[in-house]
Homo-oligomer: A and B are copies of this chain.
């Protein structure tokens, strides 16, 4: 009824029509003034006034429909409780914000359908582009990535021929760094606590571990390998199982959450870290510095990967015709107290002494 006369939107909020009517100008003029392009001083005054009086706020959806852009970028990760994604997110956010866009994060919880659904639904124009970091990649998934309606950048491993922008690291050699370091420190019974083998990172790290041991001519004792998932509780449980059946002198963990779980398991079992068992995590998140002793960890450059992914995405948004690109970030090892070289041959002090510490070295 009054709808047409009052020129307001369905839910009673003012629209550009309301403002225009109130200012006594056309909606074109009102729109121009509101966007700061053109308009005589008098018109500008009237429109500004009218807009303020009715408390006009533009409808971003309508604007986006017209302009074909939303100014939003999404990041989809599996588990926002994992600090590695927090770090990545921060890096992405700063790049994205610099371009005047806003970053939204979606946690997929590893439910693959959820992730695909996100690509197929949410991405369908709600955002200008998205960055996804899947831990499992199915064909279905890949198909959704390839013909996504909006630009997508993948952080993580992808099939070589996938025509998708991609920033990866080499967690395989990353594991190698950890093993090299431990072997150099005189450890020989090196255990490995990994995440599921049917995930991309889980498989890569498993391969890396086996290759590294072989490279040092060490035989792999399967009792020293245990699998959980990529979170704390499972990591701890896995480490407990491992400790119950074997006597490692070092543990490599597939990420920092697992490593913290393993640390807990070790301490609870009365093992000294690093004296009895050296410990190396992976991802080098801030969590690694929050433990006592602080955790050595293989950095997979999560911030750097995030930054680069964001840049790739912005470039692709600017020019969708760009050929797919692939970037790689090299791993490095941060040595901290949990694996600092300690003289294994010294008799253990009667009173458990604090770990001799060497300052953090970033290799």
Contact = CB atoms under 8 A, between A and B. Distances in A.
A15 to B, nearest CB: 11
A104 B122 CA distance: 10
Contact of A290 (B10, B147, B264, B349): B264
A17 B171 CA distance: 47
Interface string A65-96: 10010101010000011010010011001000
A125 B10 CA distance: 13
A113 to B, nearest CB: 12
Interface in A99-133: 102-107, 109, 118, 120-122, 124-126
Interface string A43-80: 00000000000010111111011001010101000001
Contacts of A264: 290-292
Contacts of A138: none
Interface in A239-287: 260-261, 263-264, 267-268, 270, 286
A354 interface: yes
Contacts of A89: 80, 107
A232 B290 CA distance: 7
A13 interface: yes
Interface residues of A, number: 64
B105 A58 contact: no
Contacts of A319: none
Contacts of A149: 13, 57
Contacts of A105: 80, 104-107
A58 B124 contact: yes
Contacts of A81: 83, 86, 90, 286
B68 A11 contact: yes
Contacts of A70: 61, 126
A319 B30 CA distance: 32
A141 interface: no
Contacts of A104: 74, 104-106
A322 interface: no
B65 A124 contact: no
| Of listed A62, A261, A354, residue having the most chain B CB within 10 A | A354
A81 B105 CA distance: 13
A350 B349 CA distance: 12
A327 interface: no
Contacts of A64: 61
A37 interface: no
Interface of A: 10-11, 13, 55, 57-62, 64-65, 68, 70, 72, 74, 80-81, 83, 86, 89-90, 93, 102-107, 109, 118, 120-122, 124-126, 147, 149, 232, 260-261, 263-264, 267-268, 270, 286, 289-292, 294, 320, 349-351, 353-355, 357, 359-360, 362
* Closest 4 pairs between A and B when the two form their complex, measured CB to CB: A351-B351, A354-B354, A104-B104, A105-B105
